[in-house]
Amino acid sequence: MRILGIDPGYGITGFALLEAQRGGCQLLHCGAITTPPGADFSARLEIIYEDMRQLLTVAKPQVVAMEELFFGQNVTTGIGVAQSRGVILLAVRQAGLQIYSYKPAQVKQAVVGYGNATKHQVQDMTRRILRLEKLPKPDDAADAIAIALCHARSSTSLLARAQES
Residues marked as catalytic:
7, 67, 140
- CB of 100 closer than 8 Å to CB of 66: yes
* Strand, helix or coil for residue 102: strand
DSSP code string of 17-86: EEEEETTEEEEEEEEEEE--TTS-HHHHHHHHHHHHHHHHHHH--SEEEEEPP---S-HHHHHHHHHHHH
Burial class (CB in 10 A: 0-12, 13-18, 19+), 77: middle
